[in-house]
Amino acid sequence: RGFLDELVDAALEDSVVTDDELDRLTRVATLLELPIQTVTSRTLAYRMTSGLLTLESGLRVCFTGDGAVDLNGRPVTREELEIACVTAGLEPVGSVTMKKCDLLVAVDPASLSGKAQNAHRYGTPIATAGAFLDALRHHRELSVVSVRSAGVASVCERCGDSWTASRRGRICKSCRTRSGTGRRHAAPRDTEQTAAVDPVQLITCVECSRPSELLQDQTLSDARCVNCC
């Protein structure tokens, strides 16, 4: 935990988190089985960019949090928000998904609720309830923030390589290519894995100490090269 915090400190030193830094932090946390939240929450402010969103009819809006107030400080219920939404031709939706939600209206824009975390993951714009109501009332563009996703790190089950992407995977790209998963009549998974891993497993021959490939039916601790078999 302390180690990861130091790495995050180093990445934040110049007040910028580059994609490379974010990628590395995410992978280190995953490889060391450290809580990824350390990376995502501490870099959040540096991954935010602000922008303007036009509230076009048909825009799908999700709400999160209770205790919303408008820009004059008057309390607004969730129902009032949804009515304002529908009246303006927008569509309230119940969850933040990659393809079926265009805006998250949050009582607390720094919230880390499940909906907010999904918005961060998918880059869904986020606005405060007050700004949302004001933009609707005055037919203005809405000020929003978008969060650049930290991605999800995966560790390859075959070669131990790590990478980040929008979703978790089990096998890295090069291992997938090597085993030919893309071919039309793929072998059953177990056979495929054995066939893919064995040819590239390197050993040191216990007889002559020369590097060699692991042959079939050999174990790592008692492996011999072709000459010494």
**Rounded distance between C-alpha atoms, residue 229 and residue 150, angstroms:** 50
Find the shortest distance in angstroms from Cβ 96 to Zn ion: 32
Q: Is 158 near Zn ion (CB under 5 A)?
A: yes
Sheet with 48-53: strands ordered across: 48-53, 142-147, 126-128, 103-106, 60-64, 91-92
Nearest CA among 106, 130, 128, 107 for reference residue 118: 106
* Position 214 contacts Zn ion (CB under 5 A): no
Q: Which 77-116 positions form the footprint of Zn ion (CB under 5 A)?
A: none
Out of 80, 161, 192, 213, name the contact with Zn ion by CB under 5 A: 161
Among 172, 196, 214, 223, binds Zn ion (CB under 5 A): 172
Residue in 182, 186, 161, 187 with CA at minimum distance from that of residue 172: 161
Between 92 and 169, name the residue whose CB sits nearer to Zn ion. Answer: 169
Q: Rounded to the nearest whole angstrom, what is the least distance from the CB of residue 93 to Zn ion in the complex? A: 38
Length of the chain: 229
Q: How many CA atoms lie within 13 A of 185 on its CB side?
A: 0
Considering the complex, what minimum distance in angstroms separates the CB of residue 7 from Zn ion? Answer: 24
Residue from 28, 156, 187, 215 touching Zn ion (CB under 5 A): that is 156
Binding residues for Zn ion, rule: CB under 5 A, are 156, 158-159, 161, 172, 175, 205, 207-208, 225, 228
